[in-house]
Chain A
């Protein structure tokens, strides 16, 4: 396995996440898709660091993991709020503001 294969894999993973981001109507599904995109980046970090022979990539990935946890926690709280006010968690229900 080379660096290039890793980069292609992570690009594919990112695209999968992006596809989910644009097609899932369910809020939790969208959150998961964003997680997939973030992890594609993580894969890059680790791969670059591994083939570059330095440890900064692992460190970066750990920080990203921590941050995404915080982000998802807030996201779920907002989804709860959405559920409370709109009785469902389909994101296209929140469309009072437009144009």
Chain B
């Protein structure tokens, strides 16, 4: 590796260094000043975000294991923005609840972000695993990041339950995904995506693909891997939930893009129907189970599950157009969902009440907060002309236009999705009704901390901006999606070629490669050494 290679990783290195810097600064700061770590972390992330506009990160590095492009940049900017908003939104809560451990909170958050920024660019299964875990491990800790007390009803107990549920489901799903990865890599005979692209299709390979899908599906909250979602959202610290509900999901989408689109793009038959099925189940479960929820966070959790279903619907098309719509949806979803959770957190932090009743009469208490909530709800429900409307519309259009054997099924899914969005309207409007039609418990305005206010306004601007002027984002997502396309089939290497010939004497695996018709062919990492992907 030379300096040229490191340039590709500028943003990832920037985030990682920021994490370390925050930890070091936290070490030297006296306890009273530790709340400075939050603005520091936000500032560092902003610097990285600004740098993303000036540094050219396109290229391939780490022996082909990482490839930067407009596609990775699209996701990285989204993660960085979500990280900044997440930090600003959580400042006050973290400073109040865990005064002496603030630095670690931001360190862990930045570590998770470092994992996320790596994900869209991975072109190797080992790096995929590492960055996925780098993203996931800090989240387990953060979910339980409250003052731990002996009181089984207290905040600490709630957070520990949120943490342990997230952890157990997460660790188990990692194990499942790992098992799938072992099949993928084993059949492909290597860990690089290039090996995946050229791998011969076997049942073991298909099995590996769906197990990896299950593992990533956990992080996305795809039904039936979604059951941790409402419980964790209910118990974890409020502002962290805003982050957890958005950024890791977008990162999981990035992982799907990398693995399934770039890596397994030539094996769509192995995963696209399964993904369409999961999309159906996820839309359905999310929309239906949200109806009876009384707790705002649980409601938003299920609504988030439903939204993931819509994203999967577009992903299952397997087309670049569909992928572009997924990316558009991801941005709209992140902005809207973070905003909605932050408003819910702002109200709950003021009244200590997570139930929908806490929102009652919000517009008489804090009209601006109520307007923000309304805009986010409209966007979640997909009402014109806010971000969520275009996202949903584009997803449906992309799914409708799919051609091939899945066409009929996709049309059914679009119809189901349209019906379910009407169902969803019902529970979103219940929240809006509570905020606008009912009388407030008291007339006191909701106190909103400065950072939280900035974060909510940022989300509001994004949602309204995308809604009013979706053109640039649409173009950006199309450009980004094109970068995830699997490279067109190359000359098939010998290792794969024998599998297509009806060779009466099957090749034998020998040390150092294969023996085909007496010819020794080496395979493994060495073969991918000079491969440049994504060009």
- Direct chain A–B contact by Cβ atoms under 8 Å: yes
A interface residues (Cβ-Cβ under 8 A, vs B) = 3, 7, 10, 14, 17, 21, 27, 30-31, 34, 37-38, 40-42, 44-45, 47-48, 51-57, 59-60, 63-64, 67, 70-71, 74-75, 77-79, 81-82, 84-87, 91, 94-99
Partner of A34, one of B161, B171, B183, B186: B171
Bound-state CA distance A5–B230 (Å) is 42
Bound-state CA distance A67–B179 (Å) is 14
Please, which residue of chain B has its CB at the minimum distance from the CB of A81? Answer: B160
Q: How far is the CB of A76 from chain B (nearest CB, A)?
A: 10
Bound-state CA distance A10–B137 (Å) is 26
Please, which residue of chain B has its CB at the minimum distance from the CB of A85? Answer: B157
Q: Using known A-B contacts A38-B178, A45-B186, A67-B130, determine if residue A56 contacts B191 with beta carbons closer than 8 Å.
A: yes
Bound-state CA distance A6–B525 (Å) is 22
Q: List B327-358 residues whose CB lies under 8 Å from chain A.
A: none
Q: How far is the CB of B531 from chain A (nearest CB, A)?
A: 14
Bound-state CA distance A87–B178 (Å) is 33
Q: Using known A-B contacts A67-B133, A75-B171, determine if residue A60 contacts B185 with beta carbons closer than 8 Å.
A: yes
- Asked if B152 CB lies within 8 Å of chain A CBs, one says yes
- Asked if B62 CB lies within 8 Å of chain A CBs, one says no
Q: Using known A-B contacts A38-B175, A45-B185, determine if residue A71 contacts B137 with beta carbons closer than 8 Å.
A: yes
Tell whether, in the assembled complex, residue A34 and residue B172 are in contact, meaning their CB atoms are under 8 Å apart: yes
Tell whether, in the assembled complex, residue B148 and residue A81 are in contact, meaning their CB atoms are under 8 Å apart: yes
Q: List B134-190 residues whose CB lies under 8 Å from chain A.
A: 137, 140-141, 144, 148-154, 156-158, 160-165, 167-168, 171-172, 174-176, 178-179, 181-183, 185-186, 189-190
Partner of B157, one of A37, A67, A86, A91: A86
Partner of A52, one of B137, B298, B524: B524
Bound-state CA distance A31–B298 (Å) is 27
Question: Which residues of A lie under 8 Å from residue B130 when comparing CB positions?
Answer: 63, 67
**A27, A51, A74 — which one has the most chain B CB atoms within 10 A of its CB?**
A74
Tell whether, in the assembled complex, residue A41 and residue B175 are in contact, meaning their CB atoms are under 8 Å apart: yes
Question: Which residues of A lie under 8 Å from residue B176 when comparing CB positions?
Answer: 37
- Asked if B461 CB lies within 8 Å of chain A CBs, one says no
- Asked if B129 CB lies within 8 Å of chain A CBs, one says yes
Please, which residue of chain A has its CB at the minimum distance from the CB of B520? Answer: A53
Q: Which 10 A-B pairs have the closest CB atoms?
A: A54-B524, A48-B186, A44-B182, A85-B157, A37-B175, A97-B231, A94-B161, A41-B178, A81-B160, A53-B511
Q: How far is the CB of B136 from chain A (nearest CB, A)?
A: 9
Bound-state CA distance A86–B191 (Å) is 43
Bound-state CA distance A57–B191 (Å) is 8
Bound-state CA distance A86–B526 (Å) is 52
Tell whether, in the assembled complex, residue B185 and residue A96 are in contact, meaning their CB atoms are under 8 Å apart: no
Q: How far is the CB of B524 from chain A (nearest CB, A)?
A: 3
Question: Which residues of B lie under 8 Å from residue A82 when comparing CB positions?
Answer: 160-161, 164
Tell whether, in the assembled complex, residue A78 and residue B163 are in contact, meaning their CB atoms are under 8 Å apart: yes
Tell whether, in the assembled complex, residue A85 and residue B149 are in contact, meaning their CB atoms are under 8 Å apart: yes
Partner of B182, one of A45, A63, A79, A91: A45
Bound-state CA distance A6–B189 (Å) is 16
Bound-state CA distance A87–B385 (Å) is 51
Tell whether, in the assembled complex, residue B126 and residue A85 are in contact, meaning their CB atoms are under 8 Å apart: no
Bound-state CA distance A79–B160 (Å) is 9
Offer 10 A-B interface pairs, CB within 8 angstroms, sorted by A.
A14-B179, A42-B182, A48-B186, A53-B510, A53-B512, A78-B167, A81-B164, A82-B164, A85-B148, A85-B161
Tell whether, in the assembled complex, residue B523 and residue A71 are in contact, meaning their CB atoms are under 8 Å apart: no
Q: A38-B175, A75-B168 are in contact. List 15 more A-B contacts (CB 8 A).
A: A31-B171, A37-B176, A48-B185, A52-B189, A53-B510, A53-B523, A55-B525, A57-B186, A59-B126, A74-B141, A81-B148, A81-B156, A85-B152, A91-B168, A94-B160
Question: Which residues of A lie under 8 Å from residue B149 when comparing CB positions?
Answer: 85
Please, which residue of chain A has its CB at the minimum distance from the CB of B235? Answer: A97
Q: Using known A-B contacts A40-B179, A53-B512, determine if residue A60 contacts B144 with beta carbons closer than 8 Å.
A: no
Please, which residue of chain B has its CB at the minimum distance from the CB of A73? Answer: B137
Question: Which residues of A lie under 8 Å from residue B164 when comparing CB positions?
Answer: 27, 78-79, 81-82, 91, 94
Tell whether, in the assembled complex, residue B167 and residue A75 are in contact, meaning their CB atoms are under 8 Å apart: yes
